[in-house]
A and B are shown apart, each in its own frame.
Chain A
Amino acid sequence: GENVEQHPSTLSVQEGDSAVIKCTYSDSASNYFPWYKQELGKGPQLIIDIRSNVGEKKDQRIAVTLNKTAKHFSLHITETQPEDSAVYFCAASRGGGSNYKLTFGKGTLLTVNP
């Protein structure tokens, strides 16, 4: 099955700095890579996703890059703000429809210090 490794497990940055979280996956057939943000006491919420036919995607201060050859993808957050503090999960999936099963990384606790 798919295996997703995520690093680092914790990340502390100063407000305004950039944060980068990296993930690798094992299944070359995976073609969908979402990122979820989980605030304390809440369920995960999708913040950005990327499909295997795209190398990079941006949404305001958040960007995700994908390197299919190396089987790794990364989340980039620029101009970090205290409200970005949360646990971030990467995930990978192959197929759609009934084959849709997300495999998650173990998460990164991001702390943005004011």
Chain B
Amino acid sequence: NAGVTQTPKFQVLKTGQSMTLQCAQDMNHNSMYWYRQDPGMGLRLIYYSASEGTTDKGEVPNGYNVSRLNKREFSLRLESAAPSQTSVYFCASRPRRREHTEAFFGQGTRLTVV
């Protein structure tokens, strides 16, 4: 199994450009998440989707939109990229159960906005 796959792995954008980060999981997980990782800031939740058809804001949603395309795929869109969105983006997924379960992370997308 591939687990959680993110594309692209690297991207450079000019300020004002738009792009979509793709995430797909093959573990039949209900819940999916987008995090950003900045030096000294840890991982911060941008948006999440508890199940297919639902999305909710996390800690730092401004400047982003998401789409839960189907159970497998959860995309993150930057409509007008800004230098402050330079970061490493991680997608994660987990089964939705009453008890806590492990979240599986992708390899990340390193985005630079110039």
Nearest CB on A from B52, distance (A): 12
Nearest CB on B from A9, distance (A): 7
Are A96 and B102 CB-contacts (below 8 A) given A43-B108, A89-B43?
no
Give A107's nearest chain B residue, CB to CB: B42
Range of interface residues on A (Cβ < 8 Å): 20 to 34
- Within residues 72 to 114 of chain B, which ones have a CB less than 8 A from any CB in chain A? 90, 92, 94, 96-103, 105-108
**B107 adjacent to A106 (CB under 8 Å):** no
Interface positions of B (Cβ within 8 A of A)? 4, 31, 35, 40-45, 48, 50-51, 54, 58-59, 90, 92, 94, 96-103, 105-108
Are A106 and B31 CB-contacts (below 8 A) given A49-B102, A98-B96?
no
Cβ-based interface call for A1 (8 A): yes
